[in-house]
Structure 1
Amino acid sequence: MTEKKFIYSILNDYYRDLLKDNQANIIDLYYNQDYSLSEIAEHMSISRQGVHDALKRAEKSLMEYEDKMKLHYKYEKYNKAAENIIKLSSSISDDKYKDIVDNIKNEAGKIINEG
């Protein structure tokens, strides 16, 4: 999956409910299910141009939502911070801190796994 397809697929996960139903469906079919514009048009009984226009509007809306709410940006930022916490805590080798280090790693792992 190309980076462009990947980002729209992710943003659709965050903001799908903010799109019009047909736009959300078109994004899903195009980016997640790999339908062509023609296949989507046939599936939805609309013109290929109508699919193209709705896709472009949906892409624009997803980017605007991300620019305003930054949910994906924040997720990436927190995920990276949690990974750094795990990495830094792994450098503590003193056995008397083993339980604390394990707790830190577990808590940081929860942040990563909730995303």
Structure 2
Amino acid sequence: MSEKNLIYSILYDYYGDLLKDNQSNIIDLYYNQDLSLSEIAEDMNISRQGVHDALKKAEKSLMEYEDKMKLHYKYDTYQKAAENIIKLCSTIDDVKYKDTVDYIIKEAGKIINEG
């Protein structure tokens, strides 16, 4: 799956419930189920062009939701920050800070595993 396709699949996880039912269904079938536009059109008994138009509208809506709410951006930022904290902690080798470093790593790990 290309990075562009992956982003729509990810954004669908965040905002899919905000889409119209047919748009949500089309995004899911196209990006998560890997059906072609023609297959979706046949399944939904609409034209391929209708599927294409609904898909483009849904993609636009998902990007607009992300632009406004930034849920994925925040998640990604927190992930990277937590990974950096763990990396930095691994450079501390003073025995007297071992318990504190272990605790910080554990807490940063919780952030990473929340996703």
Q: TM-score, normalised by structure 2?
A: 0.98
| Runs (5+) with no aligned partner, structure 1 | none
CA offset digits 1:13-65 (Å, max 9, x no partner):
00001000110110011011110000001111111111001000000000000
Aligned to 1:109: 109
Identity, in percent, stands at 82
Aligned to 1:49: 49
Are positions 1:25 and 2:25 aligned together?
A: yes
Q: Letter of the aligned partner of 1:65 in structure 2?
A: Y
Partner Cα distance (2:95, 2:44) in 1: 62
Q: Letter of the aligned partner of 2:77 in structure 1?
A: K
Partner Cα distance (2:49, 2:112) in 1: 40
Root-mean-square deviation (CA), in Å?
0.6
Q: Letter of the aligned partner of 2:94 in structure 1?
A: D
- 2:93 is paired with a residue of what secondary structure? coil
Aligned to 1:72: 72
Q: Letter of the aligned partner of 2:23 in structure 1?
A: Q
Aligned residues: 115
Partner Cα distance (1:70, 1:6) in 2: 16
Partner Cα distance (2:26, 2:67) in 1: 21
Partner Cα distance (1:110, 1:102) in 2: 13
Structure 1 runs of 4+ with >2 Å offset: none
Partner Cα distance (2:77, 2:44) in 1: 38
- 1:35 is paired with a residue of what secondary structure? coil
